[in-house]
Copies of this chain bind each other. A is one copy, B any other.
Amino acid sequence: MTGIKEVARKAGVSISTVSNVMNETKPVSPALKARVMEAIEALQYEVNPVGRGLKSNKTNQVGVIVPSFNQVYFPAVLQGIHEAGIKYGYTILVFETNGDVELEKQHVRFLQHSWTDGILLASYANKENISDRKYIRSLLDTGSRKKEIPVVSLENVLDPGIDSVIIDNKKAASIAVNHLVSLGHRTIAHIAAPLRFQIGILRLEGFREAMKHAGLPVDEDLIVEGDYSPISGYRSMKDLLKKGKEFTAVFAGNDQMGIGVIRALLDEGHRIPEDVAVIGIDNNFPSTLITPSLSSVNLPKYELGYQAMRLLNERMREPKRPRCVITLDSELVVRKSTSKDGSGDWNLNGW
């Protein structure tokens, strides 16, 4: 490993001069500069980031903590993060929690002990839970640490003191429900995303508001909570059908549950969309592949990651700037599960 000392020796200058040439921190005479450059070239020298990190207390690394590297949502977010990371000069350390908050805390704690300059966190912490609240506070604690590690929260606002990039989930849900209403549906079931989290609550609120706005009653028995997974959508729908509930449309709290819902309806011999229309939310590519293809509301996943990294970068450079929440917008995508005229195209690109 060639170090700064060897470069200095080879160029016949002091190490500070080499450093100054590298970082352009101070003017260096053309003659010396040339000699140093030459030596750097000859020795293929590159600075050792560990040494630099020790001195500067910066690593140019950011930690990314997500529930899952799973196969439809976070990979796209990660792509956005990675792309922005390259742009702003950060590399990405990844951690998977599987939705286990204890694991999440562990990873956060690990990162706070000085590897990373910042953290991007898609948290499963629950604001209502007392121990989780304490943990959330610790995210903004600048306490005894010399180095405060900024956090940007993905997808939910953990605390007003934490920068966040979110999607307007209430609006997205309303868009989905409004679509069903516009098709003439009056009795609509909702397979909710987990209600201990903001996302689930907001989507449910969006559902309620849209129903109210349309002057439609909400039958509480038609609201069933799932856990995001396709299988939970499947089971929830089976339960609803077993109970003999009547409805002509279903709004699923995400696409994965929507896919489970469709499967359950088909299994029980219902026609989609003639007997029951189904819409999800997320717009993942598998939703184009099933039959009938699943209508959905597109969420800007890549953008979410990109903006989060951008925001984190700004926070790291300017710790004092006011906290901010970036809200991204969503968009209706009509497919066959709600309308015969919807798109039946498969997404054959980008995966």
User: What is A's interface to B at a CB cutoff of 8 Å?
Assistant: 1-2, 43-44, 46-51, 53-54, 59, 61, 68-72, 74-76, 78-79, 82, 91-96, 109-110, 113-115, 144-147, 229-231, 233-234, 256, 259-260, 263, 284-286, 289-291, 346-349, 351
With most chain B CB atoms within 10 A of its CB, the pick from A94, A95, A256, A259 is A94
A348 and B53 within 8 A (CB): no
A70 and B75 within 8 A (CB): yes
Complex alpha-carbon distance, A71 and B91, angstroms? 21
Q: Across the two chains, which residue of chain B brings its CB closest to A256?
A: B351
B348 and A113 within 8 A (CB): no
Q: Return chain B residues, CB-CB under 8 Å to A259.
A: 289, 346, 348
Number of copies: 2
23 contacts between A and B (CB under 8 A): A43-B144, A46-B113, A50-B59, A50-B115, A61-B93, A68-B79, A71-B76, A74-B75, A82-B94, A82-B95, A91-B93, A91-B95, A91-B110, A93-B94, A229-B348, A229-B349, A229-B351, A230-B348, A259-B346, A260-B348, A286-B286, A289-B290, A291-B291
A72 and B351 within 8 A (CB): yes
Q: Across the two chains, which residue of chain B brings its CB closest to A59?
A: B50
Contacting residue for A114 out of B1, B71, B147, CB 8 A: B1
Complex alpha-carbon distance, A69 and B46, angstroms? 28
Contacting residue for A289 out of B43, B48, B61, B289, CB 8 A: B289
Complex alpha-carbon distance, A191 and B213, angstroms? 52
Complex alpha-carbon distance, A75 and B46, angstroms? 31
A93 and B93 within 8 A (CB): yes
Distance in angstroms from A183 CB to nearest chain B CB is 24
Distance in angstroms from A195 CB to nearest chain B CB is 21
With most chain B CB atoms within 10 A of its CB, the pick from A48, A74, A256 is A48
Complex alpha-carbon distance, A95 and B79, angstroms? 9
B69 and A114 within 8 A (CB): no
B71 and A75 within 8 A (CB): yes
Q: Return chain B residues, CB-CB under 8 Å to A70.
A: 75, 351
Given contacts A75-B70, A78-B69, A290-B289, contact A346 B230 (CB under 8 A): yes
Given contacts A96-B82, A348-B263, contact A54 B61 (CB under 8 A): no
Complex alpha-carbon distance, A290 and B50, angstroms? 49
3 tightest CB-CB pairs across the interface, nearest first?
A: A230-B348, A231-B348, A1-B146
Q: Across the two chains, which residue of chain B brings its CB closest to A46?
A: B113
Distance in angstroms from A336 CB to nearest chain B CB is 12
Complex alpha-carbon distance, A128 and B166, angstroms? 46
Complex alpha-carbon distance, A50 and B234, angstroms? 48
Q: Across the two chains, which residue of chain B brings its CB closest to A6?
A: B144
Complex alpha-carbon distance, A92 and B48, angstroms? 19
Q: Across the two chains, which residue of chain B brings its CB closest to A2?
A: B144
Distance in angstroms from A12 CB to nearest chain B CB is 20
Q: Return chain B residues, CB-CB under 8 Å to A263.
A: 346, 348
B286 and A230 within 8 A (CB): no
Q: Across the two chains, which residue of chain B brings its CB closest to A51?
A: B54
